[in-house]
Amino acid sequence: MKVLYVLLCCVVLCLNVLASSDEEDDKQLVEMERSADLENRKRLHTTNTFIKKHVKQRTVRGKITHFVCQNAVTMEKLTFMFALPEQNFNEDPVIQHAMELELQREMHEGLDLTEVEVADLAYHEKNMNDLGSDRRVMLKPDLALLILDIILNPTNYEHFDFIHTCRMIGLFWSVKDPTSFITNAEVTPDDNTCVIHHGTTVVKSFQYDDDSIVYVDNVTHKVLNPSFVLDLA
């Protein structure tokens, strides 16, 4: 009987040790997640601060163009960089982190800020959703003006192919309506139609018509009214 009692005590002791260990592991996991969330918020806020400075300097359009014209950067990545930074591309936080840093580095270019000043800019009071919304609000006016300038002054954008304008429209749409964010933008070779998709769903289609960009039917590509320019307001 004494032996059995000792064995039971040992079992209880082991269970208590294991429970304490699991509890400690849970606490560490929660703390790690909290720390990662704070760093993510600081990172997004820093990038947003850079964007705000470029908006004020009127240099943000060049930064947007820099990424839009890189064919290696897919439409979906553009969307998650600029329009949905609070979410994870392909549900992968590592890829999203890398894309945010790439955007942040480019936005830091042209700003007279030391590393210490950059670090001082970051704070984490706002949550991720608010930071994403802030970025969309900041970018929408300049994206609209950039697309309008491309339409009105095409000679200033001779390095632009229609696919770049199409990607710009897709990015604008993601900023304008993040619930139907654009994952793909393509120009059909047969009738030069810009088609933007959310997943497998065609969201909108556009063509040039009389020096303007107009909506066309998603299936027939027949010209519709009104002009896309009206939606840039």
Provide the whole-model pTM. 0.83
Predicted pLDDT of residue 28: 58
Q: Is the pLDDT of residue 116 over 90?
A: no
Q: Which long-range contacts (CB under 8 A, 24 or more apart) does 194-199 make?
A: 194/162, 194/163, 194/165, 194/166, 194/169, 195/166, 196/75, 196/166, 196/169, 196/170
Predicted pLDDT of residue 114: 78
Question: What is the rounded distance in angstroms from the CA atom of residue 131 to the CA atom of residue 124?
Answer: 10
DSSP conformational letter for 206: E
Predicted pLDDT of residue 151: 92
Tokens of 223: 């010209």
Chain-wide mean pLDDT for the chain?
Answer: 87
User: Which amino acid belongs to residue 30?
Assistant: V
- Which residues share a beta bridge with 213? 208
Cα-Cα end-to-end distance for the chain: 85
Is the preceding omega at residue 85 within 30 degrees of 0, hence cis?
no
Look at 17 and 221; give whichever has higher pLDDT: 221
Residue tagged 């005590």 (tokens): 9
Query: For the segment 22-32, what is each residue's pLDDT rounded down to a tens digit?
Result: 666 555 545 55
Question: What is the rounded distance in angstroms from the CA atom of residue 70 to the CA atom of residue 19?
Answer: 53
Query: For the segment 144-165, what is each residue's pLDDT rounded down to a tens digit?
Result: 999 999 999 999 998 889 999 9
